[in-house]
């Protein structure tokens, strides 16, 4: 049975409530917390100490209201409540698969000239001894991989680091992964381990290396030992092969790496993963061989989706082994997960087993990924939201219409997106461009 909970937090899901929300500190960096406290008049000599207090409450204890910060003065708590919030992304729907997989459709705050609030999907995959959270880095995707549902959705925008971290906070809220918290009472599977989210994978919507800075900043927050404390060895970034950024990611972020390979020659990969036309297999594998920290203990995972009659022959398996020679690697074989309009079929199980046997005999671990969440389109390659990027003419029409409906027209009349955490305050003061 598939459980679907609609509009869990959607009091304004219809768009009736157009009040400007307070900026959230859920997902803020150390520097942003210091900036926020400074804006409230906290003396410079107290900023580091006060920001550490907020950090612990937000990321180690998971509180969602400033009033719960019992070691912060009442005066400061009142100022924080007036100026900021601790809101997570808004849940539009939550789906629980027959196998326990959870998928959330999340609505993000509108930015700049966006006519509608964009939406992304986040997936939690529980097992008996671990729980994996699959998070998104973009609304839509820059790339157009032909076997991937997300690839049919044009890129709307990058997520901020706060929106990426917000997915982790929201997931931990929903499954009770905070000290003393209770899990959901819907009968869904949860790990027996103390931590319910043991692994994080950047395998959701988007190409994370095309949102490098925000993703790196989000990982810094997620891996901080004084807060969320997720081990970098249990965080995996999956890329389709943005070659120039792979080495930089390893040097600056130091997480595990997964490569969406899916083909053993450039001709086929050009079709399946079009970025291959820019960064062919030879260049991609060279970047993998030079990945910082690569050892037999820190192997690269190569993802290989099994497409019937396309890339699943014994010859393909032998070519794959030859291709990866000399690279400390694990090969994840992924049965293709169908989605509406897909042009491919999943390989027969016997063919997958035969493929895996060849790879295993060559000395590579080649687990066949058990499909999870297929019944709610939450499996690998199935994520997509309905968000679209408006054309310039459509954005202009939307903002003019908004002004005609009684808005001030000041911000919606062409104001650019301010990168500051406090863009709405800039707008209120007349400082926004």
Which DSSP string corresponds to 41-66? T--HHHHHHHHHHHHIIIIIS----G
The CA–CA distances, whole Å, from 49 to 43, 115, 222 equal 11, 40, 20
Instruction: With cut-offs at 50, 70 and 90, classify the pLDDT of residue 427.
Output: very low
**Nearest C-alpha neighbor of 109 from the set 231, 24, 5, 234:** 24
Give, in order, the Cα–Cα distances in Å from 261 to each of 145, 202, 249, 284, 388. 11, 16, 18, 9, 28
- Choice among 141, 288, 346, 380 that is catalytic: 380
Q: Give the best-scoring range by mean pLDDT among 96-100, 186-190, 327-331.
A: 327-331
Instruction: List beta partners, residue 333.
Output: 304, 368
Residue 2 has a pLDDT of: 55
pLDDT in tens, 277-298: 999 999 999 999 999 999 999 9
pLDDT of residue 243: 98
Domain boundaries, the chain: 29-80, 90-376
Q: What are the tens digits of pLDDT across the range 11-68?
A: 444 444 455 689 999 999 999 999 999 999 999 999 999 999 999 999 999 999 999 9
Higher-confidence residue of 68 and 7: namely 68
Residue 330 reports pLDDT greater than 60: yes
Can you give the pLDDT at residue 62? 97
Average pLDDT, whole number, for the chain?
84
What is the CATH architecture of 29-80? Answer: Orthogonal Bundle (1.10)
Contact 124, 131 (CB under 8 A): yes
> What whole-number percentage of the chain has pLDDT above 70?
80
Q: Is 148 part of the annotated catalytic residue set?
A: no
Is the confidence at residue 387, as pLDDT, over 60?
no
Name which residue leads in pLDDT, 184 or 69. 69
Contact criterion met (CB below 8 Å) for 134 and 373 = no
Number of Cβ within a 10 Å radius of residue 430: 7
Is 246's pLDDT higher than 90?
yes
Q: Give 116-126 pLDDT, tens digit per residue.
A: 899 998 999 99
Fold matches, 29-80 and 90-376: no
User: Would you say 223 and 230 are in contact if contact means Cβ atoms under 8 Å apart?
Assistant: yes
Q: Which phi and psi angles does 39 have, rounded to 5°?
A: -65, -20
Global pTM reads 0.84
The residue-averaged pLDDT of 67-95 equals: 96
CA neighbor of 94 nearest in space, from 307, 327, 378, 388:
378
Distances (CA, A) of 402 to 116, 397, 409, 427: 11, 9, 7, 17
Tell me how far apart the alpha carbons of residues 80 and 25 are, in angstroms, rounded to a whole number: 10
Give the pLDDT score at 351: 95
Instruction: Among 75-84, 253-262, 347-356, 366-375, name the one with the lowest average pLDDT.
Output: 366-375
DSSP 129-195: S-EEEE--SEESBS---TT-SGGGSB--EEPPHHHHHHHHHHHHHHHT-STTPPPPSS-----SSS-
380 is catalytic: yes
120-170 pLDDT, tens per residue?
Answer: 989 999 998 999 999 999 998 888 888 887 667 788 899 999 999 999 999
Q: Pull the structure tokens for residue 84.
A: 């900021």
| Catalytic option among 32, 114, 121, 163 | 121
C-alpha closest to that of 209 among 162, 164, 245: 245
Cβ partners under 8 Å of residue 132, min gap 6: 124, 125, 197, 198, 199, 200, 201
pLDDT at residue 6, rounded to an integer: 63
User: What tokens appear for 375 in the block?
Assistant: 């019944």
Q: What average pLDDT does the segment 411-429 reach?
A: 34
Note the pLDDT of residue 232: 97
User: What sign results for the dihedral spanned by CA atoms 385, 139, 134, 88?
Assistant: negative
Evaluate if residue 417 carries a pLDDT over 80. no
Mean pLDDT of 200-219: 96
What's the N-to-C CA distance of the chain in angstroms? 51
CATH of 90-376, one of 3.40.50.300, 3.20.20.70, 1.10.620.20, 3.30.420.40: 3.20.20.70
Residue 1 pLDDT exceeds 50? no
- CA–CA distance, 95 with 357 (Å, rounded to integer): 35
* pLDDT, position 186: 78
């Amino acid at each position: 049975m598939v459980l679907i909970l609609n509009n869990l937090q959607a009091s304004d899901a219809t768009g009736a409530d157009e009040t400007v929300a307070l900026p959230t500190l859920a997902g803020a960096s150390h520097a942003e917390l210091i900036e926020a406290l400074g804006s409230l008049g906290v003396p410079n000599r107290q900023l580091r100490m006060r920001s550490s207090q907020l950090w612990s409450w937000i990321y180690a204890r998971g509180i969602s209201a400033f009033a719960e910060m019992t070691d912060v003065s009442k005066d400061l708590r009142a100022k924080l409540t007036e100026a900021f919030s601790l809101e997570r992304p808004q849940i539009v729907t939550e789906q629980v698969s027959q196998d326990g997989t959870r998928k959330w459709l999340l609505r993000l705050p509108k930015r700049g000239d966006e006519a509608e609030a964009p939406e992304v999907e986040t997936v939690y995959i529980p097992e008996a001894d671990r729980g994996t959270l699959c998070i998104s880095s973009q609304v839509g995707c820059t790339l157009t991989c032909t076997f991937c549902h997300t690839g049919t959705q044009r890129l709307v925008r990058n997520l901020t680091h706060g929106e990426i971290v917000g997915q982790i906070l929201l997931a931990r809220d929903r499954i009770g992964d905070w000290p003393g918290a209770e899990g959901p009472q819907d009968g869904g599977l949860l790990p027996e381990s103390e931590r319910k989210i043991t692994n994080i994978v950047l395998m959701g919507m988007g190409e994370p290396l095309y949102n490098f800075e925000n993703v790196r900043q989000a990982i810094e927050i997620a891996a901080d030992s004084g807060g969320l404390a997720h081990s970098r060895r249990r965080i995996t970034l999956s890329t389709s092969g943005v070659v120039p950024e792979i080495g930089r990611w390893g040097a600056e972020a130091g997480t595990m790496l997964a490569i969406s390979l899916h083909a053993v020659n450039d001709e086929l990969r050009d079709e399946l993963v079009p970025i291959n036309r820019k960064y062919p297999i030879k260049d991609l594998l060279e970047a993998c061989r030079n990945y910082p920290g690569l050892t037999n203990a820190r192997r690269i995972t190569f993802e290989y989706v099994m497409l019937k009659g396309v890339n699943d022959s014994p010859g393909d398996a032998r070519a794959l082994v030859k291709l990866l020679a000399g690279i400390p690697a694990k090969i994840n074989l992924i049965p293709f997960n169908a989605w509406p309009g897909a042009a491919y079929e999943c390989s027969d199980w016997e063919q997958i087993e035969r493929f895996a046997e060849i790879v295993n005999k060559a000395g590579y671990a080649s687990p066949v990924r058990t499909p999870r969440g297929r019944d709610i389109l939450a499996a690998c390659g199935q994520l997509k939201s309905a968000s679209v990027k408006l054309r310039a003419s459509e954005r202009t029409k939307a903002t003019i219409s908004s002004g005609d409906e009684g808005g001030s027209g000041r911000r919606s009349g062409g104001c650019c997106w301010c990168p500051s955490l406090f863009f709405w305050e800039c707008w209120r003061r007349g400082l926004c461009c």
